Amino acid sequence: MSVRLLSAFAAAFTLAVLTSTGMAQPAGEMFRGKEVAVLIGGAPGGGADVYTRLFARHYGRFLPGNPSVVAKNVLGAGGLKLANQLYNVSPKDGTEIGTFLTTTALEPLFGNKEARFETTKFTWIGNMLDTDATACVTWKTSGIKTWQDLKARETTFGASGSSSLTSIQTKIMGELLGVRTKVINGYQGGLRMSNLAMQRGELDATCGIYIVTLRTQLIDQVRNGDLIVWMTFGAERDRAFPDVPTIYDVVKDEADRELAQLIFGQDVLSRPLTAPPGVTPERAAALRAAFMATMADVAFQDEANKAGLEIHAMDGAETQRRYQAFYAMPKSVVERAKKVIGREAE
C-alpha cells in the first residue's frame, strides 16, 4: 500500500473511530484551544528527543480540534521522573503525554520502589519504532575489536545512571558472555558524552546504543573505523553490520536465551508514547487514532526520511500487549535479572 493511500486510510480510520464512539461532533472540539505537551524523558539531541520532536511537529494536525503541540524535555533518573509525573501528576485529559525508555517503563517489574506506577495501567498510545536493536561500541584506541577481547580484562563502560538502558544492558551482557564489566555512571546527555569519554580514554566501551543512531548520526565514525561495533542485541544480525554477532549467537543455553529476551527484547518498544492512566476511552481512542494517522502521513514520512529516521509503527493496543507480556515472564528469569543489575535487595 502506498504512503498516500495509507495516509488516506488512516484519516478515514480516525473519523470512523471518533464517530463510532458517538462523539463525531464533540470530538471535533475535544482539544480545540488547548496545548498538548509531549514530554520527553531524555536529553536534548538524543534519539528520543529527535524522534519525539519530529512527531510533535505533525501530531496536532490529526488531533480533534487541531491543538498546538509542544515538545518539552523532562530530565531526571533516566526518565523515571517523567514516568512518575505522568502517572501521578499529569492531567488525565490527554493534554500531557510522554515518552521514556522501556527499561524505565519496566522498573516496577525489577523491584525499583522509586517507580511509583503500574506499567500496564498507562494509556499506551503507540510506538514509533518496533525494530531498533541496540549495540556495543568501542573507540579504535581501546584495543577491543571483538567481544572475545573482553575476556582478558575488566572493561569500563559508560552509563547515565543505574536504571539507564546503557547500564542495564551492559550488566546483562557481561553476565551472558562471562566477562568482567565495570559500569561508570554519570555520563548524561546520551551517547555524545560517553563517545567523547571513549575518545579521551576515560572509558573502554558503551552498550545500549541504538543501531539506527550508528547508521545515521555516527555513520562517518563507523565507516572510517574510529567507532567499532562488536556486539548487537537484535534477534538477527543487522544488515548494516552483517559480520557482527548478536547476543543470541553466543548465549549458552535456554536460561540465558530467556534472560536475553527479557532485557534485549525490550528493543521492539524503542520509541513508545503514553498518556496517564484514567484517560477516558473516547480521549484514548482519539490519541491513538491521531498517532497512527501521523505515522502514515506523507509530510511526516518525508521529514523522517530526510533525517534518516526509520519509522515502523505499532498501534496502542499492541504496545499495551507487549508490556503485559513482559510481566508474564517466568519469575526465575526476572529474579536472575534483578540479581545481575543489583536489585535483589530493593
User: Tell me: the pLDDT tens digits for 11-35?
Assistant: 444 544 444 444 443 557 899 999 9
Residue 211 CA to residue 160 CA, distance in Å, equals: 18
Residue 66 CA to residue 160 CA, distance in Å, equals: 37
pLDDT tens digits along 88-126: 999 999 999 999 999 999 999 999 999 999 999 999 999
Residue 334 has pLDDT above 60, yes or no: yes
70 band by pLDDT with thresholds 50, 70 and 90: very high
Residue 207 CA to residue 155 CA, distance in Å, equals: 12
Residue 63 CA to residue 36 CA, distance in Å, equals: 10
Query: What rounded mean pLDDT belongs to the chain?
Result: 90
Run of H or E including 104: helix 102-105
- What pLDDT is recorded for position 344? 62
129 band by pLDDT with thresholds 50, 70 and 90: very high
Q: Are 206 and 144 in contact (CB under 8 A)?
A: no
- What pLDDT is recorded for position 27? 58
pLDDT tens digits along 260-318: 999 999 999 999 999 999 999 999 999 999 999 999 999 999 999 999 899 999 999 99
Q: What is the mean pLDDT of residues 44-61?
A: 94
Residue bearing the bigger pLDDT, 83 or 44: 83
165 band by pLDDT with thresholds 50, 70 and 90: confident
Residue 8 has pLDDT above 50, yes or no: no
Q: Are 137 and 227 in contact (CB under 8 A)?
A: yes
- Give the Cα-Cα-Cα angle 289, 10, 19 (nearest 5 degrees): 60
45 band by pLDDT with thresholds 50, 70 and 90: confident
- What pLDDT is recorded for position 132? 81
